[in-house]
Amino acid sequence: MIALGMRIVWLLALAGTAGAVADIKVTPVVTGGHVVTTFAAPDAYTDDSREVVKSGVPLTFTYMLELRRPSSLWWDRTVGSATVAAKVKFDSLTGEYQVTKEQDGHVVSSKTTVKEEEMRGWATSFEAVPIVPDEALEANADYYVRVRLDARPHLSMSLWPFFGRSDAIGRADFTFIR
């Protein structure tokens, strides 16, 4: 019985480390009833990410942004969303990294560099991503922007494959004042 208890404690500890999630620093700004969000997840590019990229396999960081309105009685309501991605490819012949950024499935920029640190910055940060709400923002109401990161190929295994798991999460709350 004690051995079973020790195994459960060990599995819970392992689940806690395997599910460790990096932080995303989120900064929303409201202009003209629209929300633009700048965010960075510098810790998302790990040693595992580096190994994947150096092996020649393309690495994609997909960021899902949600503008949400908190609710005390029910689930928080999503009032707007956007999806952006950064795809990293490494050319071992030239030693160049190519980072292509997409927004809602359309390419918005593509850059190349030989500096890994520069590539890392490009892949893990976005500036002024617009989130257009489905309805007008309500004056003096609380909102928040949540950003979730999904890295592909997945860099770690989750012990709970049936739950949605993000590789990094960030959130910033604000009050829309008109």
Give the 3-state secondary structure of residue 149.
Answer: strand
Domain boundaries, the chain: 22-176
pLDDT digits (tens, 9 = 90+) for 116-142: 999 999 999 999 999 999 999 999 999
Say how far apart CA 82 and CA 133 lie, in whole Å.
Answer: 10
What does the pLDDT look like over 141-171, one tens digit per residue?
Answer: 999 999 999 999 865 554 444 445 678 899 9
**Residue by residue, what is the 3-state secondary structure of 38-101?**
EEECHHHCCHHHHHHHHCCCCEEEEEEEEEEECCCCCCCEEEEEEEEEEEEEEECCCCEEEEEE
More confident residue, 34 or 145: 145
